[in-house]
Amino acid sequence: MLMTIRQLRVKYGNQMALDIEKPVTFEKGERIGVIGSNGAGKSTLVKALLGLVRYEGNVVTQLKPEQMAVHMQFNEYVTSMPVRYIMEAILDTKIKRNRELQELISFFDFEPCLPKRFNALSGGQKQKFTIIMVMFQKAELTFFDEVTSGLDFETRQKLVEKLARWYRDKGDTLVMISHYYEELEQLADKILILDKGKVVAYGQKEQLFKEYCGNVVFIMENNDKNRELSKGFPVLRSPEHLLALACDSRGQERRAMSVLAENNVNFKRSNSDIEIMFMNARERFYSQMGENRV
Partner 1 sequence: MKKCSLRMVLYELRNINGNFMPHFFGIIFPNLMCVLLSKTVGSQVPDQMRQEVVTSIMLTMTLVIPMAIMLIGYGALYAQEVERGIPLRMRLFGVGEKYEVTAKIAAHLVFLTIAFAIYAVFQVLFMDIQRPAASSLLCLAVSLYLIGIIFLIIAHALANIFRKFSLTFGVTMFLYFGMMILTGMMGMRTDQLPEFLQKVAAALPMTYVSNDFIGFWQGGKYNFMPFIQSFIFMGAAAGILLMCSFHFQQRSQTRGKDSIFA
Binding residues (CB under 8 A) for partner 1: these are 8, 50-67, 69-70, 72, 74-81, 85-86, 88-92, 133, 137
Complex with partner 1: residue 84 or 205, whichever CB lies closer: 84
Amino acid symbol at 192: L
Complex with partner 1: residue 72 or 220, whichever CB lies closer: 72
CB of 117 to partner 1, least distance (A): 8
CB of 229 to partner 1, least distance (A): 52
Complex with partner 1: residue 93 or 272, whichever CB lies closer: 93
**10 Å Cβ neighbour count for 76?**
10
CB of 276 to partner 1, least distance (A): 35
Complex with partner 1: residue 105 or 216, whichever CB lies closer: 105
CB of 80 to partner 1, least distance (A): 2
Complex with partner 1: residue 63 or 164, whichever CB lies closer: 63
CB of 106 to partner 1, least distance (A): 21
CB of 11 to partner 1, least distance (A): 11
CB of 42 to partner 1, least distance (A): 17
With the C-alpha atoms ordered 145, 28, 204, 187, is the resulting torsion angle positive or negative?
Answer: positive
Complex with partner 1: residue 13 or 251, whichever CB lies closer: 13
Cα gap 144→82, rounded to integer Å = 24
Report yes or no: 33 and 188 within 8 Å, Cβ to Cβ. yes
Complex with partner 1: residue 67 or 215, whichever CB lies closer: 67
Report yes or no: 226 and 45 within 8 Å, Cβ to Cβ. no
